Amino acid sequence: MSHPARYRLSPPLWLRCLCILGIVGALALAFAGTAGWLTPHRLTAGRLVDQFQRNAGIFPGYRRNHAKGVCLLGEFRSSGLAATISRAEVFAVGARTPIVGRLAIPGSNPYAPDGSVPIRSMALRFTQQNGQQWRTGMNAMPVFAVATPQAFYEQLQAQQLLPATGKPDPARVAAFFATHPETGAFRAWARTAKPSASYATERYNSLDAFEFVDAHGRRQAVRWSMVPEPAMPLQAAASGTTEDDLAADLSARLRQGPLRWRLLITLAAPGDPTADATRAWPEGRRQIEAGTLIVQAEESQIRGACRDVNYDPLVLPDGIQASDDPLLPARSAAYADSYLRRTTEVAEGKGPVAETSSSRSLSP
């Protein structure tokens, strides 16, 4: 039997056009949805940084948090003791790794008085021989106030200043703490914490947990701390807590000699929470002294090597990995957003370098 010419039921033209537009439109919609443009209430890195700016205003060229600080130069001398639990080069026996660091205080205002907040922070970038880097940001507090980025955002929102009073709304702040009992441990500490007049006497803690990976691929959950070695008493008498005590104190101490911290690694026992920075691990956990940080020099953060460093805690060498702590990816995303905003401001000539004339010329 011969087949007639193939008879095909063809959809009408308008339907075919509609299908094409439908497919293209669906793709565009899915793209917009993935980008967060259709869900203004979904928490994104940009919205976190926007809230910092709503709370404190914009200081072009500066970090959106831990804005006031000073650069450090030095090196880390490994004790070799941590090499058994991490294959990162920085921990190898005899390894000496240069660091570019930063000491700072939390807050978005680079001109805030040092006494305005009781917390001090230390950030470090280790550059290994093999070119891999380890970047870490630590705070001198025993636990973090919140466990999740959503809670952090809510805390920021509660701290937004009322136009009428120039202060946060006390009812809103109270409501936040009432609905976030996990902040209890931090608040108990903060009640009696006094702002230190020196960066050199502080113990800086990772707060977030990480995983060390050894040469055989075995994993160990850890937190770490930079524990200060007793600093020499200053020859000049310390003044009272004034606006810029910390920087002056640091300069004076470094003129007398390098400052040292010991890197203490605390190993989690099975069951210790790694996804909750509000919970300290019980006393008596095994600890390893991984080496000594030697801070040899400081530089102003406007001209220093730390200025253009984004201390993203997820820039990690082979041998260190993130834990399941939900704060880590949020920090990484938010810091990247802040870094782009401030480097864009510098590129546009609005950053702090522009204010201080001479030093560097910006490319047009």
Partner 1 sequence: MKSPTQVFSWPARWLHGTMAVLILLMLFIGVGMVASVSRWHSWLVAVHKPLGMVLLLLVIVRIAVRVCFPPPALPTDLPSIQRSLAHASHWLLYALMLALPLAGWSMLSAGGYPVMLGSSLRLPAIVRADATVFAVLRHLHAVLAFLLFAVILAHLAAALYHGWIRRDGVLGSMFWRRGNR
The residue ranges that bind partner 1 (CB under 8 A) are 13, 16-17, 19-21, 23-24, 27-28, 30-31, 34-36, 42-46, 48, 130-133, 149, 307-310, 312, 314-316, 318, 321-322, 324, 326, 328-330, 332-334, 336-337, 339-340, 343-344, 346-347, 362-363
**Closer to partner 1 by Cβ: residue 45 or 246:** 45
Locus of tokens 């991490």:
86
Longest CA span, the chain: 111
| CA–CA dist 194, 42 (Å, integer) | 36
Residue pointed to by tokens 């108990």? 188
CB of 154 to partner 1, least distance (A): 13
Active site residue 216: no
Annotated catalytic residue, options 3, 41, 66, 216: 66
Q: Min. distance of Cβ 216 from partner 1 in angstroms?
A: 15
In three-state secondary structure terms, 125 is: strand
Contacts 24+ apart (CB under 8 A), 151-155: 151/180, 151/182, 152/48, 152/327, 152/330, 153/43, 153/47, 153/48, 153/51, 154/180, 155/180, 155/183
Amino acid identity of residue 360, one-letter, is: R
- Minimum CB separation from partner 1 for residue 131, in Å? 5
Q: Which long-range contacts (CB under 8 A, 24 or more apart) does 19-25 make?
A: none
Residue nearer to partner 1 on the CB measure, 131 or 163: 131
Residue closer to partner 1, measured from CB, 245 or 337:
337
327-347 helix and 149-158 helix, angle to the nearest 10 degrees: 60
Q: How far is the CB of 24 from partner 1 (least distance, A)?
A: 5
* Distance in angstroms (rounded) separating the CA atoms of residues 173 and 64: 21
Q: Which is nearer to partner 1, 217 or 240 (CB)?
A: 217
Residue 315: CB minimum distance to partner 1, A: 6
Q: Which two tokens stand for residue 298?
A: 């400081």
Tell me the residue ranges of DSSP E strands in the chain.
Answer: 68-78, 96-105, 121-127, 133-139, 204-205, 210-213, 219-228, 259-267, 287-300, 320-322
H/E segment holding residue 252: helix 245-256
Measure the CA angle with vertex 363, ends 357 and 364; round to 5°.
100
Cβ nearer to partner 1, comparing 8 with 191? 8
With respect to partner 1, which residue has the nearer C-beta, 193 or 275? Answer: 275
CB of 88 to partner 1, least distance (A): 10
- Which sequence positions are flagged as catalytic? 66
